[in-house]
Structure 1
Amino acid sequence: MRMLEPDVTLTDFLLATQCATFAVVLIRRRGGNPCETRLFATMYAALALSSLFGALWHGAFSDVDTATGDAVWLIAMAALAASAALLWLISGRLIPLAAWSRFAPWAAAIQFVLQVSVSAYFTDSFIVAALGLLPPMAATVAGYIIRAQSGQMIHGICGAAGVTLAALAGLVIAFDLSLHPRWATTLAVYHAVQFVAFGLVFMSVPATVAKTR
């Protein structure tokens, strides 16, 4: 079976593997804040799902509009919406303000419903998901800065750098940056930057004691 966009498909599968691994590692860890760790694990699971279905779409459905392809792409977009919602919840744990802790779950729920609705009924453009991630990313970076200032310097710096890099990766798409016309096209380069960003964010989660059986 021919792979339509090999570089994009393979880098999406790489991201899916990375994020799924991070999710499993975090689930099996203890230490730090258990609720926060679970939120990060769930976020990585959502990112893994989005990358997996993104790989399926770019590999098999990106050349023609079909009902199956549309469903695959919508799942990828819904998983990204879930990732954005989880970032709101994570920011609610990082920012030590009672008002923000109450606001974050509402922001998460509203964004998820609106973003999935837009993708399902108005436009399924990737730009919807990319722009939707920016507000919770900004809130999460603010939370990491607060965490760094409160004494958790390494975790805060890694987290802020990772989330900021993930946001700036959008510039790769905006400026259509590529390294090779077939094997390192714009989306593949975007995925490579995201790979580094997701690794930095993983290093920010203060849960370092492996769970034993």
Structure 2
Amino acid sequence: MGSGGAEPGTVRPGGRTARVRAAVLRAAGDTLAERGVAHLDLADIARRADVGKTTVYRRWGTVTSLVADLLMDMAEQSLPRTETGSLLGDLKANARLVQRTLADPRQGPLFKAMIAAATCEAKTAEALHHFYDIRVKEWAPCVQQAIDRGEVPEGTDTHEVIRAVSAPLYYRLLTTGDHLDEAAADRAAEAAAAAARAGAYLRNKGLG
């Protein structure tokens, strides 16, 4: 992964460019988790990352672009789905991953800050939507496998089932100060699995 004998100025994955991006995104994430978007300042991020201010301004330009890149990096780093052989097992694995992320002392505040920023900044909202779209698409095949096994009715909206798992956990994060534990995660998974089996997520349900 080292830059080895690369010519000065060449861009290589794993070289200086990648190290600079990693350092800047880590500094941005730390600042977001600690103090929120209002305190994000490109010069301060450059100082925290020990990177030249000019480099940061040239590469990202605005705080919004930096937050969007941080979300893209988080999507790329996210863990792959778990497949247990049953819908409930898979959804519990998904719920516990969400729960661990949101209960984490750094990740929880970081996501709260991202959501807050997205309410008033269109580019951040777009980046946040893209992040969740990637995560939902990663886990949707678990529901398709449940359809193929006959656990869930044909025509079930696989994406909606995955969203239903996370929804109660995010709601609790944003509306209460309660700690999110594994029991909350399992309950969210059980509710989504039961609803899916009952046909609650059939496409076009109730229309026409």
TM more than 0.5 = no
Relative to its length, the structure with more helix (as a share) is 1
Tell me the TM-score normalized by structure 2.
Answer: 0.28
Higher relative contact order (CA 8 A, sep 6+): 1
